Amino acid sequence: MCKSCESFKLHLMEGELGRKKAAQGLFEEEIIQKHARYFYWKYQRFVSLDYNSWEDFYVEVVLRIFKEKEAGRGPKDNCDGYYYKLTRNICEEMVRSTNKSKAVQDELSRLDELTGDPYIIEKVKKYINQLECKCNRLLYHYHIEEQLVRDKKELVNILKDKCGKEYTIGSIPVHLSGCLNKLTELVENDPDHLF
Amino acid sequence: MENTSIKFQEYLDHRLSPEEEAAFKAELQIDKKLKSKFVAFLLKKLQVQDAVDPDTREMVSEVYRNMTPVKMSNPSKIYRLNRFASDNWPKLAAAASFLLVMSYLISVYTSDAHNTGKNLNEIMLEPISMERASSSDMQLYEKASYFYFKPKPLTDSLEGLSNACRAFCLPKYYLAHAYLKNEQYDKANLLFEECLKNIDYLNQIPQLQGHDQEIRLNVLISRAGLKMNSREILNDLDQLISELQPNDDIFERAQSLRKLLN
């Protein structure tokens, strides 16, 4: 039986403080660290695309385990096997999404050639510029700029510097997703008839 | 919109035929609406679905930030070996089973021959010693006996003596025993069969008179060592046993051979 299995549910009953304790219990679980290390080492090529550092990856693994256990789907007795499989699944998902996103990135990079429109990226940028500061900066640095910024902490700093607002690291993926939705809508409707 | 999305996805997955792909690309260059939809589709595909709500993400990240950072080091060799074994256990189990079966079969095959040989060695009857049988100069057979009764029979010397004989001679009798002792059943069998053919000659030697049954038993042992027809060996052995008295030393050995052959 793993250390955190029994105490996890009890901690959850203690409200927000208990959730933190439960998360801390998972971080203290040595076997999770071992599996995370192993998969970080094994999937290095893919991990480096999605996670800036080992710590990002490790936090992601613990986070996913936390969510699974919180939803009552956690391990009953074979914690080691469960943690191992979950960590492996995260990595497999990562590989799949990396491959998919690579295909999309490839298509985006040769969009001008494909559409016969040399200014197509500039047109997309124009729509990005129409978005509010948060989305403008996030999309520009995360998807458009030559040196893409994938470090969430750095993105938070950029948003603070350029937009004057403080965002949490955890909220960055949600903002990114929302901003991308806005941009997609703009491009699809093409209100300025740029395309 | 749904149809176009399917088409875009098919294009992205390279599921369009070359003709369809060419037609799609041509349309993309002309149709502005399709162009904007395609760009929107690609942008949508960039979205990474986050399965975790931002609050939980932030909470877990904060918990980690307040702890001592966990250092990244390469997983230990033992851990990797353990993982390799866990991940590949069906293959490893199949390989191990195969090796186990093979080693069992090999051991059965070799141990059968080995055990038989070992027991046959124990059963065989030693030749009659003729050392110092004469007070005159050492005769050929005395030398042969001397070479045989060394801690390990001097087969080379016995072969030398045997080769010097034009016809059957006593060194061959000792050499047959030496071969049997060394589990060289093929050579032993040839020589013992020769001894059997020359049993009259051997019976003329006073020390060997009445020992023909011992030679017959050794012939059967050498045949058993060569895994010759066991039924024939058993028939001959039964014949020999019927001629023996239960208190004979050779009787017990003949029975042992019988047990081995059954």
The per-residue DSSP string of B9-69 comes to: HHHHTT-S-HHHHHHHHHHHHH-HHHHHHHHHHHHHHTPPPP-S-HHHHHHHHHHHHTSPP
* pLDDT reported for residue B2: 61
Q: How do residues B213-248 score in pLDDT, each as one tens digit? A: 899 999 999 999 888 888 889 999 999 999 888 888
Q: How do residues B117-138 score in pLDDT, each as one tens digit? A: 456 778 888 888 887 655 666 6
Q: How many Å lie between the alpha carbon of B17 and the closest alpha carbon of chain A?
A: 17
The per-residue DSSP string of A109-165 comes to: HTHHHHHT-TTHHHHHHHHHHHS-HHHHHHHIIIIISSS----HHHHHHHHHHHH--
Q: Which residues of A touch B63 (CB under 8 A)?
A: 20, 23-24, 27
* pLDDT reported for residue B189: 92
* pLDDT reported for residue B136: 65
Distance of alpha carbon A178 from alpha carbon A185, whole angstroms: 11
Backbone angles phi, psi at B135, to 5 degrees: -90, -10
* pLDDT reported for residue A160: 93
| 3-state SS assignment for residue B88 | coil
- Judge: A116–B50 Cβ closer than 8 Å, yes or no: no
Q: What is the mean pLDDT of chain B?
A: 85
Distance of alpha carbon B48 from alpha carbon A140, whole angstroms: 16
| A37 close contact with B: CB closer than 8 A | yes
Size of interface A-B (CB pairs under 8 A): 146
* pLDDT reported for residue B109: 72
Torsion-angle region of B50 (φ positive above 0: left; ψ -120 to 50: alpha; else: beta): beta
Locate tokens 């003729």: which residue?
A: B130
Q: Which residues of B touch A183 (CB under 8 A)?
A: 43
* pLDDT reported for residue B174: 93
- Residue B49 in this model has a pLDDT that exceeds 70: no
- The three-state DSSP-derived secondary structure of A42-99 is HCHHHHHHHCCCHHHHHHHHHHHHHHHHHCCCCCCCCHHHHHHHHHHHHHHHHHHHHH
- Judge: B59–A19 Cβ closer than 8 Å, yes or no: yes
Q: How do residues B156-184 score in pLDDT, each as one tens digit? A: 999 999 998 888 888 999 999 999 998 89
B237's tokens: 């052995």
Its sign, for the CA torsion A141, A144, A147, A152, is positive
- The three-state DSSP-derived secondary structure of A61-76 is HHHHHHHHHHCCCCCC
Answer whether A51's CB lies under 8 Å from B94's CB. no
The arithmetic mean of pLDDT across residues B79-87, rounded, is 83
Chain A nearest-CA residue for B86: A81
Q: Which residues of B touch A185 (CB under 8 A)?
A: 40
Q: Which of B4, B27, B43 to mutate to test the interface with A (most CBs of A within 10 A)?
A: B43
- Would you write out chain A's pLDDT as a tens digit for each of its 195 residues? 566 667 788 888 888 889 999 999 889 888 888 888 888 888 887 776 667 678 888 988 899 889 888 888 877 777 788 888 888 888 888 888 878 888 888 888 888 888 888 888 889 999 999 999 999 999 989 888 878 888 888 899 999 999 998 888 778 888 888 899 999 999 988 888 888
- Residue B41 in this model has a pLDDT that exceeds 60: yes
Q: Which residues of A touch B32 (CB under 8 A)?
A: 190, 195
* pLDDT reported for residue B111: 58
User: Is the complex ipTM higher than 0.85?
Assistant: no
Q: Which long-range contacts (CB under 8 A, 24 or more apart) does B146-149 make?
A: B147/B174, B148/B174, B148/B177, B148/B178
Q: List the single residue in A27, A67, A115 with the smallest CB-CB distance to B67.
A: A27
Distance of alpha carbon A50 from alpha carbon A48, whole angstroms: 6
Q: Which of A42, A51, A59, A109 to mutate to test the interface with B (most CBs of B within 10 A)?
A: A59
Q: How do residues B192-222 score in pLDDT, each as one tens digit? A: 999 989 988 888 888 888 888 899 999 999 9
* pLDDT reported for residue B114: 46
A80's tokens: 């080691």
Residues 148-167 of A with CB under 8 A from B: none
- Judge: B43–A187 Cβ closer than 8 Å, yes or no: yes
Q: Which residues of A touch B67 (CB under 8 A)?
A: 24, 27
Q: How many Å lie between the alpha carbon of A122 and the closest alpha carbon of chain B?
A: 12
Percentage of chain B with pLDDT > 70? 91
